[in-house]
Amino acid sequence: MADNYRTTYKTGRKRKKRKRIFFFLVVPMLVLILGVTTYGAFLYNKAQTVMDESYNPIERESTKREKPVDPDIDNVSILFIGVDDSDTRNFSAGSRTDALMLATLNEKQKSVKLLSIPRDSYVYIPSKGYEDKINHAYGSGGAKSTIEAVEELLDVPVDYYVNMNFNAFIDVVDALGGIKVEVPYALSEQDSGDNKNAIQLEAGLQKLDGEEALALARTRKLDNDIERGKRQQEILKAIISRAASAKGVTKYSDVIEAVGDNMTTDLSFSEMKTFIDYATAGSGIDIETLTLAGGDSYIDGVYYYQLDQTELETTRQTLKSHLEVPGYTSDLVNSDIESEEKGY
Protein backbone atom coordinates (compact mmCIF):
# COMPACT_ATOMS: atom_id res chain seq x y z
CA MET A 1 0.00 0.00 0.00
CA ALA A 2 1.21 3.50 -0.82
CA ASP A 3 0.59 4.67 2.75
CA ASN A 4 3.17 2.21 4.06
CA TYR A 5 5.95 3.90 2.14
CA ARG A 6 7.78 7.00 3.26
CA THR A 7 8.40 8.46 -0.17
CA THR A 8 11.07 11.11 -0.05
CA TYR A 9 11.21 12.17 -3.65
CA LYS A 10 11.75 15.86 -3.92
CA THR A 11 10.53 17.34 -7.12
CA GLY A 12 13.28 18.75 -9.26
CA ARG A 13 10.68 20.51 -11.35
CA LYS A 14 10.04 24.18 -10.79
CA ARG A 15 6.70 25.24 -9.26
CA LYS A 16 4.74 28.44 -8.44
CA LYS A 17 1.64 29.64 -6.65
CA ARG A 18 -1.87 31.05 -7.38
CA LYS A 19 -5.55 29.80 -8.20
CA ARG A 20 -7.61 27.05 -9.82
CA ILE A 21 -9.08 28.17 -13.12
CA PHE A 22 -5.91 27.43 -15.03
CA PHE A 23 -6.39 23.76 -15.88
CA PHE A 24 -9.87 24.30 -17.21
CA LEU A 25 -8.70 27.23 -19.31
CA VAL A 26 -5.51 25.69 -20.60
CA VAL A 27 -7.04 22.44 -21.82
CA PRO A 28 -9.51 23.94 -24.32
CA MET A 29 -7.08 26.75 -25.01
CA LEU A 30 -4.26 24.45 -26.02
CA VAL A 31 -6.55 22.31 -28.14
CA LEU A 32 -7.32 25.32 -30.30
CA ILE A 33 -3.95 27.05 -30.08
CA LEU A 34 -1.94 24.06 -31.27
CA GLY A 35 -2.96 24.67 -34.86
CA VAL A 36 -0.74 25.52 -37.77
CA THR A 37 -1.96 29.06 -38.36
CA THR A 38 0.32 32.03 -37.83
CA TYR A 39 -1.93 33.28 -35.04
CA GLY A 40 -1.90 29.84 -33.46
CA ALA A 41 1.90 29.75 -33.51
CA PHE A 42 2.01 33.22 -31.95
CA LEU A 43 -0.33 32.17 -29.11
CA TYR A 44 1.53 28.91 -28.58
CA ASN A 45 4.84 30.71 -28.15
CA LYS A 46 3.26 33.33 -25.91
CA ALA A 47 1.63 30.65 -23.76
CA GLN A 48 4.91 28.80 -23.40
CA THR A 49 6.76 31.96 -22.37
CA VAL A 50 4.11 32.96 -19.82
CA MET A 51 3.78 29.48 -18.34
CA ASP A 52 7.53 29.08 -18.03
CA GLU A 53 7.56 32.26 -15.96
CA SER A 54 4.77 30.90 -13.76
CA TYR A 55 6.51 27.58 -13.16
CA ASN A 56 7.76 27.09 -9.59
CA PRO A 57 8.45 23.83 -7.70
CA ILE A 58 7.72 23.08 -4.09
CA GLU A 59 10.26 20.84 -2.44
CA ARG A 60 8.28 18.46 -0.30
CA GLU A 61 8.00 14.90 0.87
CA SER A 62 4.97 12.69 0.28
CA THR A 63 3.89 9.32 1.59
CA LYS A 64 1.24 8.96 -1.11
CA ARG A 65 3.47 8.22 -4.11
CA GLU A 66 6.38 5.86 -4.57
CA LYS A 67 7.79 7.96 -7.40
CA PRO A 68 6.90 11.10 -9.40
CA VAL A 69 4.10 10.69 -11.92
CA ASP A 70 4.09 11.25 -15.67
CA PRO A 71 0.75 12.83 -16.71
CA ASP A 72 1.23 11.47 -20.23
CA ILE A 73 0.71 7.91 -18.99
CA ASP A 74 -0.39 8.11 -15.35
CA ASN A 75 -3.56 9.11 -13.53
CA VAL A 76 -2.80 12.33 -11.67
CA SER A 77 -4.34 14.87 -9.33
CA ILE A 78 -4.19 18.65 -9.38
CA LEU A 79 -5.05 20.90 -6.45
CA PHE A 80 -6.52 24.26 -7.49
CA ILE A 81 -5.94 26.88 -4.82
CA GLY A 82 -7.91 30.14 -4.87
CA VAL A 83 -6.10 32.59 -2.62
CA ASP A 84 -7.87 35.38 -0.77
CA ASP A 85 -5.43 37.91 -2.20
CA SER A 86 -5.88 41.20 -4.01
CA ASP A 87 -4.12 44.53 -4.43
CA THR A 88 -6.17 45.84 -1.52
CA ARG A 89 -4.99 43.01 0.72
CA ASN A 90 -1.37 43.54 -0.37
CA PHE A 91 -0.83 39.84 -1.12
CA SER A 92 0.18 39.27 2.49
CA ALA A 93 1.86 36.09 3.72
CA GLY A 94 -1.10 35.51 6.02
CA SER A 95 -3.54 35.14 3.15
CA ARG A 96 -6.07 32.29 3.29
CA THR A 97 -7.52 30.04 0.65
CA ASP A 98 -10.95 31.18 -0.47
CA ALA A 99 -11.50 28.16 -2.71
CA LEU A 100 -10.02 24.68 -2.83
CA MET A 101 -10.74 22.12 -5.54
CA LEU A 102 -9.02 18.81 -6.14
CA ALA A 103 -9.22 17.38 -9.65
CA THR A 104 -8.36 13.74 -10.28
CA LEU A 105 -7.67 12.77 -13.89
CA ASN A 106 -7.98 9.23 -15.19
CA GLU A 107 -5.75 8.89 -18.25
CA LYS A 108 -7.47 5.84 -19.77
CA GLN A 109 -11.03 7.08 -19.26
CA LYS A 110 -10.08 10.68 -20.12
CA SER A 111 -12.34 11.70 -17.25
CA VAL A 112 -12.06 14.26 -14.44
CA LYS A 113 -13.55 14.28 -10.97
CA LEU A 114 -13.65 17.72 -9.39
CA LEU A 115 -14.06 17.90 -5.62
CA SER A 116 -14.82 21.17 -3.82
CA ILE A 117 -13.44 21.35 -0.28
CA PRO A 118 -15.35 23.75 1.99
CA ARG A 119 -13.03 26.45 3.31
CA ASP A 120 -14.20 26.05 6.92
CA SER A 121 -13.74 22.25 6.99
CA TYR A 122 -12.40 21.15 10.37
CA VAL A 123 -9.34 19.06 9.52
CA TYR A 124 -5.91 18.13 10.81
CA ILE A 125 -3.24 20.47 9.45
CA PRO A 126 0.20 18.81 9.57
CA SER A 127 2.14 22.10 9.46
CA LYS A 128 0.24 23.31 12.54
CA GLY A 129 0.11 19.98 14.36
CA TYR A 130 -3.55 20.37 15.28
CA GLU A 131 -7.05 20.61 13.79
CA ASP A 132 -8.27 23.88 12.33
CA LYS A 133 -10.14 25.28 9.34
CA ILE A 134 -8.48 24.02 6.18
CA ASN A 135 -8.26 27.53 4.74
CA HIS A 136 -5.90 28.42 7.62
CA ALA A 137 -3.31 25.96 6.31
CA TYR A 138 -2.12 28.42 3.66
CA GLY A 139 -1.12 31.02 6.22
CA SER A 140 1.21 28.59 7.98
CA GLY A 141 3.15 27.48 4.93
CA GLY A 142 1.54 28.56 1.70
CA ALA A 143 0.70 26.05 -1.01
CA LYS A 144 2.93 23.39 0.55
CA SER A 145 1.01 23.42 3.83
CA THR A 146 -2.32 23.34 1.97
CA ILE A 147 -1.22 20.37 -0.15
CA GLU A 148 -0.18 18.47 2.98
CA ALA A 149 -3.53 19.18 4.64
CA VAL A 150 -5.48 17.97 1.58
CA GLU A 151 -3.42 14.77 1.33
CA GLU A 152 -4.03 14.15 5.03
CA LEU A 153 -7.75 14.76 4.66
CA LEU A 154 -8.42 12.72 1.52
CA ASP A 155 -5.67 10.09 1.80
CA VAL A 156 -4.75 10.52 -1.88
CA PRO A 157 -1.69 12.07 -3.49
CA VAL A 158 -1.67 15.66 -4.67
CA ASP A 159 0.62 15.50 -7.69
CA TYR A 160 0.40 19.10 -8.87
CA TYR A 161 -0.93 22.42 -7.70
CA VAL A 162 -2.17 25.59 -9.38
CA ASN A 163 -2.38 28.71 -7.25
CA MET A 164 -4.06 31.93 -8.39
CA ASN A 165 -5.51 35.06 -6.79
CA PHE A 166 -8.60 37.25 -7.15
CA ASN A 167 -7.00 39.37 -9.86
CA ALA A 168 -6.56 36.34 -12.11
CA PHE A 169 -10.20 35.36 -11.75
CA ILE A 170 -11.41 38.85 -12.63
CA ASP A 171 -8.94 39.35 -15.47
CA VAL A 172 -9.62 35.96 -17.06
CA VAL A 173 -13.40 36.41 -17.09
CA ASP A 174 -13.03 39.94 -18.46
CA ALA A 175 -10.52 38.77 -21.06
CA LEU A 176 -13.11 36.26 -22.29
CA GLY A 177 -15.70 39.03 -22.58
CA GLY A 178 -17.72 37.74 -19.62
CA ILE A 179 -19.44 34.42 -18.93
CA LYS A 180 -23.08 33.31 -18.75
CA VAL A 181 -24.05 31.88 -15.36
CA GLU A 182 -27.29 31.09 -13.52
CA VAL A 183 -27.45 33.33 -10.45
CA PRO A 184 -29.53 31.40 -7.87
CA TYR A 185 -30.82 34.43 -5.97
CA ALA A 186 -30.54 38.21 -5.77
CA LEU A 187 -27.43 39.22 -3.87
CA SER A 188 -25.48 42.20 -2.68
CA GLU A 189 -21.75 41.52 -2.24
CA GLN A 190 -18.46 43.36 -1.81
CA ASP A 191 -16.05 43.69 -4.73
CA SER A 192 -12.38 42.73 -4.91
CA GLY A 193 -11.48 46.03 -3.27
CA ASP A 194 -13.59 45.08 -0.22
CA ASN A 195 -16.13 47.80 -0.97
CA LYS A 196 -19.35 46.67 0.68
CA ASN A 197 -22.46 46.10 -1.47
CA ALA A 198 -20.57 47.21 -4.59
CA ILE A 199 -21.93 44.27 -6.60
CA GLN A 200 -25.70 43.91 -7.06
CA LEU A 201 -27.06 40.86 -8.93
CA GLU A 202 -30.58 39.68 -9.66
CA ALA A 203 -31.59 36.02 -9.86
CA GLY A 204 -31.54 34.27 -13.23
CA LEU A 205 -29.30 33.37 -16.15
CA GLN A 206 -27.15 36.35 -17.09
CA LYS A 207 -23.79 37.48 -18.41
CA LEU A 208 -21.33 38.42 -15.69
CA ASP A 209 -18.10 40.37 -15.85
CA GLY A 210 -15.08 39.49 -13.73
CA GLU A 211 -16.08 41.40 -10.59
CA GLU A 212 -19.63 40.04 -10.75
CA ALA A 213 -18.46 36.46 -11.28
CA LEU A 214 -16.09 36.79 -8.32
CA ALA A 215 -18.90 38.10 -6.12
CA LEU A 216 -21.06 35.11 -7.07
CA ALA A 217 -18.18 32.72 -6.40
CA ARG A 218 -17.44 34.22 -2.99
CA THR A 219 -20.86 34.90 -1.49
CA ARG A 220 -22.41 32.55 1.06
CA LYS A 221 -24.72 34.89 2.90
CA LEU A 222 -27.90 33.09 1.81
CA ASP A 223 -26.67 29.50 1.74
CA ASN A 224 -23.55 27.61 2.86
CA ASP A 225 -20.10 26.36 1.87
CA ILE A 226 -21.47 23.35 0.00
CA GLU A 227 -23.70 25.48 -2.22
CA ARG A 228 -20.83 27.93 -2.59
CA GLY A 229 -18.64 25.13 -3.87
CA LYS A 230 -21.31 24.10 -6.36
CA ARG A 231 -21.55 27.68 -7.65
CA GLN A 232 -17.80 27.80 -8.12
CA GLN A 233 -17.93 24.56 -10.09
CA GLU A 234 -20.65 25.98 -12.35
CA ILE A 235 -18.60 29.12 -12.89
CA LEU A 236 -15.63 26.99 -13.92
CA LYS A 237 -17.81 25.12 -16.39
CA ALA A 238 -18.99 28.44 -17.81
CA ILE A 239 -15.37 29.52 -18.24
CA ILE A 240 -14.60 26.26 -20.06
CA SER A 241 -17.56 26.78 -22.39
CA ARG A 242 -16.61 30.37 -23.12
CA ALA A 243 -12.91 29.60 -23.60
CA ALA A 244 -13.69 26.81 -26.06
CA SER A 245 -16.13 28.90 -28.10
CA ALA A 246 -15.24 30.54 -31.39
CA LYS A 247 -15.46 34.00 -29.79
CA GLY A 248 -13.26 32.81 -26.95
CA VAL A 249 -10.41 32.02 -29.33
CA THR A 250 -9.95 35.68 -30.23
CA LYS A 251 -9.49 36.49 -26.53
CA TYR A 252 -6.72 33.99 -25.83
CA SER A 253 -3.86 36.47 -25.92
CA ASP A 254 -5.50 38.49 -23.14
CA VAL A 255 -6.40 35.32 -21.24
CA ILE A 256 -2.81 34.09 -21.32
CA GLU A 257 -1.61 37.42 -19.95
CA ALA A 258 -4.25 37.40 -17.21
CA VAL A 259 -3.35 33.89 -16.08
CA GLY A 260 0.39 34.38 -16.24
CA ASP A 261 0.39 37.59 -14.22
CA ASN A 262 -1.42 36.03 -11.28
CA MET A 263 -0.50 32.36 -11.16
CA THR A 264 2.14 29.92 -9.98
CA THR A 265 2.17 26.18 -10.62
CA ASP A 266 4.44 23.16 -10.69
CA LEU A 267 3.02 22.01 -14.02
CA SER A 268 5.55 22.52 -16.79
CA PHE A 269 4.33 23.62 -20.20
CA SER A 270 5.16 20.19 -21.65
CA GLU A 271 3.13 18.52 -18.88
CA MET A 272 0.21 20.82 -19.55
CA LYS A 273 0.16 19.74 -23.17
CA THR A 274 -0.41 16.13 -22.14
CA PHE A 275 -3.90 17.13 -20.97
CA ILE A 276 -5.02 17.98 -24.49
CA ASP A 277 -6.26 14.40 -24.91
CA TYR A 278 -8.85 15.02 -22.19
CA ALA A 279 -10.42 17.78 -24.26
CA THR A 280 -10.27 15.96 -27.58
CA ALA A 281 -11.62 12.61 -26.34
CA GLY A 282 -15.19 11.94 -27.47
CA SER A 283 -17.49 14.88 -26.84
CA GLY A 284 -14.93 16.73 -24.74
CA ILE A 285 -13.86 16.85 -21.12
CA ASP A 286 -15.90 14.49 -18.93
CA ILE A 287 -16.12 16.31 -15.60
CA GLU A 288 -18.00 14.93 -12.59
CA THR A 289 -18.38 17.34 -9.68
CA LEU A 290 -18.24 16.12 -6.08
CA THR A 291 -18.87 17.72 -2.70
CA LEU A 292 -18.08 16.84 0.92
CA ALA A 293 -21.09 16.27 3.14
CA GLY A 294 -21.14 17.70 6.64
CA GLY A 295 -22.81 20.15 8.97
CA ASP A 296 -22.37 23.28 11.04
CA SER A 297 -20.38 22.98 14.24
CA TYR A 298 -19.11 25.33 16.95
CA ILE A 299 -15.98 24.57 18.95
CA ASP A 300 -15.07 27.03 21.70
CA GLY A 301 -17.45 29.50 20.10
CA VAL A 302 -15.77 29.27 16.66
CA TYR A 303 -17.68 28.11 13.58
CA TYR A 304 -16.42 25.07 11.65
CA TYR A 305 -17.80 22.82 8.94
CA GLN A 306 -17.76 19.34 10.47
CA LEU A 307 -17.31 16.70 7.79
CA ASP A 308 -19.44 13.57 7.83
CA GLN A 309 -16.85 10.83 8.36
CA THR A 310 -18.84 8.10 6.61
CA GLU A 311 -19.37 10.25 3.52
CA LEU A 312 -15.76 11.40 3.69
CA GLU A 313 -14.56 7.80 3.50
CA THR A 314 -16.84 7.20 0.51
CA THR A 315 -15.32 10.22 -1.21
CA ARG A 316 -11.82 8.99 -0.43
CA GLN A 317 -12.60 5.65 -2.04
CA THR A 318 -14.11 7.36 -5.10
CA LEU A 319 -10.96 9.41 -5.62
CA LYS A 320 -8.65 6.47 -4.96
CA SER A 321 -10.59 4.38 -7.45
CA HIS A 322 -10.42 7.11 -10.06
CA LEU A 323 -6.67 7.53 -9.54
CA GLU A 324 -6.27 3.74 -9.23
CA VAL A 325 -3.90 4.13 -6.31
CA PRO A 326 -3.30 1.19 -3.92
CA GLY A 327 -6.00 0.77 -1.31
CA TYR A 328 -9.09 1.70 -3.28
CA THR A 329 -12.25 -0.37 -2.91
CA SER A 330 -12.02 -2.30 -6.17
CA ASP A 331 -8.71 -3.72 -4.96
CA LEU A 332 -10.54 -5.22 -2.00
CA VAL A 333 -13.46 -6.40 -4.13
CA ASN A 334 -11.18 -8.12 -6.61
CA SER A 335 -9.31 -9.71 -3.74
CA ASP A 336 -12.57 -11.09 -2.30
CA ILE A 337 -13.58 -12.48 -5.69
CA GLU A 338 -10.24 -14.19 -6.11
CA SER A 339 -10.54 -15.66 -2.62
CA GLU A 340 -14.01 -17.02 -3.37
CA GLU A 341 -12.84 -18.55 -6.64
CA LYS A 342 -10.01 -20.28 -4.80
CA GLY A 343 -12.41 -21.49 -2.11
CA TYR A 344 -10.86 -19.50 0.73
The whole-model pTM stands at 0.77
Q: Identify the three-state secondary structure at position 138.
A: helix
Tally Cβ neighbours within 10 Å of residue 310: 9
Instruction: Give the separation between CA 31 and CA 48, rounded to whole angstroms.
Output: 14
Work out the end-to-end distance of the chain between its first and last CA atoms, rounded to an integer number of angstroms.
22
Q: How many CA atoms lie within 13 A of 149 on its CB side?
A: 33
The DSSP code for 265 is E
Q: In order of start, what are the domains of the chain with their CATH numbers? A: 2-179+240-324 (3.30.420.590)
CA distance 104 to 72: 14
Give the pLDDT of residue 32.
47
**Per-residue model confidence (pLDDT) at position 281:** 65
* Rounded-to-integer distance, Cα 205 and Cα 212, Å: 13
- The total of other beta-carbon atoms located within 10 Å of residue 203's CB is 11
pLDDT (tens, 9 = 90+) of the chain, 344 residues, equals 443 333 333 333 333 333 334 444 555 455 444 443 456 677 778 888 888 888 989 988 888 998 889 999 999 999 989 887 655 545 444 567 888 889 999 999 988 899 989 999 999 999 999 999 999 999 888 999 999 999 999 999 999 998 888 777 788 899 889 999 999 999 999 888 889 999 999 999 999 999 999 899 888 778 877 888 888 878 877 887 787 675 666 677 787 777 777 788 998 888 888 887 776 665 556 778 899 999 999 999 999 999 999 999 999 999 999 999 987 655 444 444 344 444 44
Residue 154's alpha-carbon distances to 90, 189, 305, in angstroms, are 32, 32, 16
Write out the E strands in the chain: 76-83, 97-106, 111-116, 122-125, 130-133, 160-165, 179-183, 187-189, 199-201, 204-208, 263-265, 286-290, 294-299, 302-307
State residue 106's pLDDT score. Answer: 94
Our CA dihedral for 221, 173, 256, 108, rounded to 10 degrees, sits at 70
